[in-house]
Structure formats: structure tokens, C-alpha cells
Amino acid sequence: MAKDSIKLIANNKKAYHEYFIEEKYEAGISLAGTEVKSIRQGKCSIKEAYVAIEHGEVFIHGMHISPYEKGNIFNKDPLRSRKLLMHGYEINKLIGKIKEKGYTLAPLQVYLKGSLVKLEIGLARGKKLYDKREDIQKKDLRRETEREFKVRNLH
């Protein structure tokens, strides 16, 4: 198996709808063994999760990892806060950006990179209601043109 093969486990489509993603960062996650096994089976969700910086360390809250069936006493709380592993200079850069008005950190996807579990987080700026409406209009327009294209190609 290739060292840098990537297998997507969980995706957060809502983040792209709610925010403009300006920069993306890759972070490792501090996990227990049973959590890693559960993630390998694809039992992970980041739909309700958010990322916060506390005392110079980055944490993800609300990330749900289902308990591993064969883990019995070793299983941890599915919704516990987990520390993200990032370089100090990256964390300092993020702290500076978040202090600016309107910036936040959003979890984008969880994936396996080789044998490691990684989380992609995005430096995000919140969208206003009219921005969301614009996106929906663009999506509808694209769907409409694709539909017309299909119809024309069938005849």
C-alpha cells in the first residue's frame, strides 16, 4: 500500500455551505486505539463538530466516533474533546487570524493518510444570507444547464 494513499472517512459539506474556506490545514488527531479501529470502519461524523484553540492548543469538540464493538472497557466517550496535532507556528498563525473579525475554524474532512488518521480544518469566514442565496442560484443554474445538455445529447 502506498505511503500517501488517502481514504476519505467523513466529509463536512455543511461547512462549505455556511462558510467561505480561505485556507486549509492538515492536523493529526490524538486518539485512543479503539477510536482508530472505529474510524477505520468509517464510523465517524463531523457534522456537528467545531474546532477551538484553548491555551495555545487546538481541540475538536463534538466529533462523534462510534464505540468500537469489540472494545468493551477500552472504549472512550464518543463525543469527547480531542486534541489536534499541529506545528506551533501553524497554531500561532491561526490564533492571529481568528482574532480578526469573522474568522473561525471549521472541520472539513477526516481521512486516513497511509496508516495515520488526519483531519483537514479550514480557516473560514461566515457567509451572509445573500451569499448562500447566490450559491443556491449558481447550483440551480448549473443543474439546469446539465439537464438541458443531457436532453440535447439524447436526441
- The pLDDT, as a whole number, for residue 69 is 72
80-116: pLDDT as tens digits: 778 888 888 888 887 877 877 778 788 888 888 877 8
pLDDT at position 66 is 75
For the chain, domain boundaries: 6-127
The CA-based dihedral angle spanning residues 2, 31, 53, 7, taken in that order and rounded to the nearest 10 degrees: 30
Alpha carbons 148 and 65: distance in angstroms, whole number: 42
Residues of the chain with pLDDT under 50: 1
pLDDT of residue 63: 77
What number of H helices and E strands is found in the chain? 4, 9
Domain 6-127, classified CATH 3.90.1170.50, yes or no = no
> What pLDDT does 90 receive?
81
- The CA–CA distances, whole Å, from 108 to 63, 83, 91 equal 12, 16, 17
Phi, psi torsion values for 42, nearest 5 degrees: 85, 15
Pairing verdict, β 82-85 and 50-54? unpaired
Element (H, E) at 126: strand 116-126
d(CA 69, CA 39): 12
Predicted pLDDT at 1:
45
Q: What is the rounded CA–CA span in Å between residue 82 and residue 39?
A: 14
pTM above 0.85, yes or no: no
